[in-house]
């Protein structure tokens, strides 16, 4: 009996190790694909200058949709950045989703809002009550919708979609700052290939610690908090390499809700954002893909590695935990909703590669990781753990994890170069190592709890992240020097 138990524990440990190595191999392949793409872009950035896209009469107009709930800390910076976009034709539709702070008052005062009769362009269902619609009288193309909150970001976005008038809609988080050319760059695929491109996303980076002046990140800096630094590495790895690789394989599932551009007619056609979903951004992309495949229409989801949106990331473990549980819960909902697509070759690379990957490695990953840790602890407790072998295996797992992050940092330094200070680069490298010890395991625990919540069919709830606002500097020019 004792022998059998030992065999089970050892077998579990080896299974977990095999799983981890397989995951690392898949990730490394994605990283290589992404790195190859990035390396090619260093030689030649393509045929088009962004100035030409700006000047082109066929560049479509964009409605920027910003849902905001209690965002007084940074809403004016976000709006300044959104309205200051270098783009030929855009409007901003801000939804004040039942804010209890001064979000609306600040915007009303700054942009001298005046009430107007709503001009609706779609009839998507909205659960919250629309209280009033306002327009800026300062000459800025800004519309503000006030509504009661039902605790769902998707509801606020659907309200914005009902009032958006342009053929492309960009969804932007209210705690995010767009770089001046971000919209122009992410819209480029739509200009070049309007018949096929249905969605495009750009790079999101952690804004915490960066110096901001009137909605512009004047000097990207890393926060002094290690939790934020680790997330900065996570974002680099995910956006600079992972998504580039998925997009190259024509299997990109996630366009971040913090900054994504979509064809408006298609979003309306599929009924807007699903109000039951916690992962409304990924759900939107997969629903659009499924719809296009069903009707036999062309579809391409594009990731543009250049345009940058700076966003606030959680600064405490509690807030991070809530965010990651929500993501995991949302992913489980997504995979359940679109379960018929998983492994289905009719859905191309999305069905045969991306969805199975998300099921096996993203959704079930934390289960395996937590079970693996438990089995190692159990084996150690029973005295059946070969410490030498365990150390070698754990060392390899750490090394591969560090390699993935280091590759992302190398891509950042060799190409995009947003972090210019040497100390920030050193901090990124240290965070890439530290991430594997402690953070990764806690992260797995958060995700596991999200999965459990989904399995228990708990009512999805969109939790609000406390905002600290952006770091400003009285003398940005000096800081930049």
Q: Which stretches of the chain bind other proteins, using CB under 8 A?
A: 40, 43-44, 46-49, 52, 56-58, 114-123, 130-133, 135, 137, 165, 190-196, 265, 386, 388-389, 392-393, 395-396, 399-400, 402-403, 406-407, 409-410, 413-414, 417, 422, 425, 429
Residue (26 or 425) nearer to other proteins, CB: 425
Q: What span, in angstroms and rounded, lies between the C-alpha atoms of 93 and 89?
A: 14
CB 289 within 8 A of CB 251: no
The sheet with strand 211-213 has its strands ordered as 216-219, 211-213, 471-472
Residue (406 or 471) nearer to other proteins, CB: 406
Kindly state the smallest distance separating residue 307's Cβ from other proteins, in Å: 18
Residue (278 or 408) nearer to other proteins, CB: 408
Full DSSP string of 98-137: S-SSSHHHHHHHHHTEEEE-----------SPEEEEEEES
Kindly state the smallest distance separating residue 109's Cβ from other proteins, in Å: 16
Q: What is the length of the chain?
A: 481
Q: Provide the 3-class DSSP secondary structure of residue 149.
A: coil
Q: What span, in angstroms and rounded, lies between the C-alpha atoms of 322 and 178?
A: 25
Kindly state the smallest distance separating residue 290's Cβ from other proteins, in Å: 22
Q: What span, in angstroms and rounded, lies between the C-alpha atoms of 190 and 199?
A: 8
Kindly state the smallest distance separating residue 241's Cβ from other proteins, in Å: 13
Residue (34 or 351) nearer to other proteins, CB: 34
Q: What span, in angstroms and rounded, lies between the C-alpha atoms of 80 and 215?
A: 5
Which residue carries 């974002």 as its tokens? 235
* Residue 152: both structure tokens together: 């769902």
Kindly state the smallest distance separating residue 401's Cβ from other proteins, in Å: 10
Kindly state the smallest distance separating residue 78's Cβ from other proteins, in Å: 24
Residue (415 or 471) nearer to other proteins, CB: 415
Residue (28 or 445) nearer to other proteins, CB: 28
Q: What is the torsional sign of CA 374, 380, 382, 386?
A: positive
Q: What span, in angstroms and rounded, lies between the C-alpha atoms of 296 and 218?
A: 46
Residue (78 or 244) nearer to other proteins, CB: 244
Kindly state the smallest distance separating residue 193's Cβ from other proteins, in Å: 3
Residue (51 or 318) nearer to other proteins, CB: 51
**For 216, phi and psi rounded to 5 degrees?**
-115, 135
Strands 62-68 and 90-97, bridge-based pairing: parallel
Residue (296 or 422) nearer to other proteins, CB: 422
Instruction: Cite the beta strand spans of 137-271 per DSSP E.
Output: 142-147, 168-172, 176-178, 197-206, 211-213, 216-219, 259-263
Residue (56 or 472) nearer to other proteins, CB: 56
CB 222 within 8 A of CB 229: yes
Which residue from 199, 216, 198 is spatially nearest to 207, judged by alpha carbons?
Answer: 216
Kindly state the smallest distance separating residue 45's Cβ from other proteins, in Å: 9
CA torsion, points 466, 417, 63, 258, in degrees to nearest 10? Answer: -30
Q: Provide the 3-class DSSP secondary structure of residue 306.
A: strand
Kindly state the smallest distance separating residue 250's Cβ from other proteins, in Å: 12
Kindly state the smallest distance separating residue 170's Cβ from other proteins, in Å: 18
């Amino acid at each position: 009996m004792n022998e059998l138990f030992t065999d089970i524990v050892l077998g579990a440990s080896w299974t977990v190790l095999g799983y981890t190595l397989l995951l690392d191999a898949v990730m490394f392949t994605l990283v290589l694909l992404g790195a190859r793409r990035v390396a090619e872009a260093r030689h030649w950035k393509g045929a088009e200058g962004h100035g030409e896209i700006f000047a082109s009469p066929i560049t479509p107009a964009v409605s920027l949709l910003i849902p905001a709930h209690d965002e007084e800390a940074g809403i004016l910076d976000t709006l300044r950045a959104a309205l200051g976009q270098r783009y030929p034709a855009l409007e901003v539709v801000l939804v004040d989703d039942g804010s209890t702070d001064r979000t609306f008052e600040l915007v009303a005062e700054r942009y001298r809002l005046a009430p107007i009769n709503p001009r609706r362009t779609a009839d998507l269902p909205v659960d919250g009550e629309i209280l009033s619609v306002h327009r800026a009288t300062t000459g800025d193309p800004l519309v503000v919708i006030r509504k009661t909150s039902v605790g769902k970001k998707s509801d606020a976005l659907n309200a914005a979609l009902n009032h958006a008038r342009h053929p492309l809609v960009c969804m932007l988080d209210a705690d995010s700052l767009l770089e001046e050319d971000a919209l122009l760059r992410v819209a480029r695929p739509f200009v070049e290939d309007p018949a096929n491109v249905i969605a495009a996303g750009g790079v999101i980076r952690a804004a915490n610690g960066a110096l901001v002046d009137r909605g512009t990140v004047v000097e990207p800096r890393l926060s002094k908090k290690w939790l934020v630094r680790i997330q900065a590495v996570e974002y680099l790895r995910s956006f600079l390499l992972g998504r580039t690789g998925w997009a190259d394989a024509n299997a990109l599932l996630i366009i971040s809700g913090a900054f994504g551009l979509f064809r408006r007619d298609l979003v309306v056609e599929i009924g807007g954002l699903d109000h039951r979903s916690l992962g409304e951004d990924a759900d939107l992309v997969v629903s659009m893909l499924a719809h296009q495949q069903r009707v036999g229409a062309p579809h391409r989801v594009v990731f543009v590695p250049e345009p940058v949106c700076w966003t606030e990331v959680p600064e405490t473990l509690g807030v991070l935990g809530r965010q990651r549980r929500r993501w995991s819960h949302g992913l489980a909902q997504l995979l359940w909703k679109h379960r018929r697509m998983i492994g289905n070759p009719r859905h191309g690379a999305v069905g045969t590669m991306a969805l199975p990957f998300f099921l096996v490695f993203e959704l079930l990953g934390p289960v395996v990781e937590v079970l693996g840790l438990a089995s190692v602890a159990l084996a150690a407790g029973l005295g059946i753990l070969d410490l030498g072998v365990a150390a070698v295996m754990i060392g390899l797992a750490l090394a591969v994890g560090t390699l993935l992050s280091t590759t992302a940092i190398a891509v950042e330094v060799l190409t995009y170069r947003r972090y210019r200070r040497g100390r920030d680069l050193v901090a990124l490298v240290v965070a890439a190592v530290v991430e594997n010890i402690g953070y990764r395991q806690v992260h797995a625990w958060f995700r596991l709890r999200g999965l459990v919540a989904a399995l228990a069919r708990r009512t999805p709830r969109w939790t609000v992240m406390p905002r600290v606002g952006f770091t400003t500097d009285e003398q940005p020019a000096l800081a930049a020097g």
